[in-house]
Amino acid sequence: MVQQNRITAETKLLGLIGHPVNHSLSPVFQNAALNALKLDYVYLAFDISADNLINAVCTLRTWRLKGINVTVPHKEKIIQWLDRLDDTALLLGAVNVVVLNDEELVGYNTDGIGFAKALDFNQVDLNGKNIALLGAGGAARAVLSVLIERGIHKVTVYNRSLERSLQFQQWVKNSFTTEVEIDSWESFINGQSSFLNQVDVLINATRLGLNREFIEVPWNNVENSEWIIDVVYHREETPLVREARKKGKKAFDGKIMLLYQGAESFRLFTGHEAPIEVMERALNEALR
């Protein structure tokens, strides 16, 4: 809970922008962390449509918010209105943190840090593994960068837009000394992709599931897959994780990724190391 009796004319504002944001747990654990360290900030969530994004960025400057988290669908589009990107955001072409430094809006990306921490938390070994990656947006780029660091063997990308898949493939080729293969979304859901029976880990980096959408996974074709990972999260299990566990698969969603990317965001916003235990406890209480 925000300690409203502490809010004064000097209280600094932090926030989250995206569409939708009503499901977000970021305000819960960010405010818990701010309160634990007795920092004079408050963190709120703002539902911003794509058409209003430029106005939101102008407001960020005018109201002099200290910083914001950025979630779908704005992670890429917002870049055009920022002054500078850090190296990771520049590499990924996606931003999930914006900090106002003096008059300068600086974009960062902490999603990779969050995803790597989630892998460690769940003891997922990716070395030499074959990966089916669903999605070709900003989240998929952050995931892919970690997969390469962890020594995966092969990645095939399945996305609903062929144009986006081709752009993603070209980005990987330009950014890393590796390549990914692409296949159609229809080939995935129909189980026609020959790669599926070789998959060790299936990762959903699309926004499907955010509104409880069901992903048509061809379970018989990925029966050799050991892990099912969903970047999306909910207070309850996402449909993908729930179905995977019914099939006897090891699976987890994006809650731990959210927690640790949020902890790094907290450091960028405030200059203080995040009290991760406080944040985790607040997140778990909200989930209950």
User: Is residue 248 part of an annotated ligand binding site?
Assistant: no
User: Is residue 125 part of an annotated ligand binding site?
Assistant: no
User: Is residue 199 part of an annotated ligand binding site?
Assistant: no
* Residues sharing a CB contact under 8 Å with residue 271, sequence separation 6 or more, in sequence order: none
User: Is residue 137 part of an annotated ligand binding site?
Assistant: yes
CATH superfamily of 4-109+257-287: Leucine Dehydrogenase, chain A, domain 1 (3.40.50.10860)
Please give the pLDDT value at position 210. 79
66 as an active site residue: the answer is no
Q: How far is the CA of 259 from the CAs of 127, 149, 199, 218, in angstroms?
A: 24, 21, 27, 30
Nearest to 279 by CA among 96, 60, 27: 27
State the catalytic residue, choosing from 75, 117, 249, 255.
Answer: 75
User: Is residue 116 part of an annotated ligand binding site?
Assistant: no
CA torsion sign for 125, 131, 132, 133 is positive
Cβ pair 157, 131 in contact under 8 A: no
User: Is residue 24 part of an annotated ligand binding site?
Assistant: yes
Tell me which CATH code domain 112-253 carries.
Answer: 3.40.50.720
Please give the pLDDT value at position 5. 55
Please give the pLDDT value at position 245. 96
User: Is residue 107 part of an annotated ligand binding site?
Assistant: no
Domain ranges of the chain: 4-109+257-287, 112-253
User: Is residue 260 part of an annotated ligand binding site?
Assistant: no
Please give the pLDDT value at position 51. 95
- Mean pLDDT for each consecutive 10-residue tract of the chain (288 residues)? 68 95 93 96 96 94 92 94 97 96 94 97 97 96 97 97 96 93 97 97 93 93 97 89 96 96 97 97 90
Please give the pLDDT value at position 103. 87
Same fold, 4-109+257-287 and 112-253: yes
User: How does strand 84-85 pair with strand 97-101?
Assistant: unpaired
Sheet strands (E) in the chain: 12-18, 41-47, 67-70, 84-85, 97-101, 104-108, 130-134, 154-159, 181-184, 201-204, 227-230, 250-252
User: Is residue 51 part of an annotated ligand binding site?
Assistant: no
User: Is residue 97 part of an annotated ligand binding site?
Assistant: no
Number of CB atoms found within 10 A of residue 119's CB: 22
SS3 13: strand
- CA separation for the pair 70, 205 (Å, rounded): 16
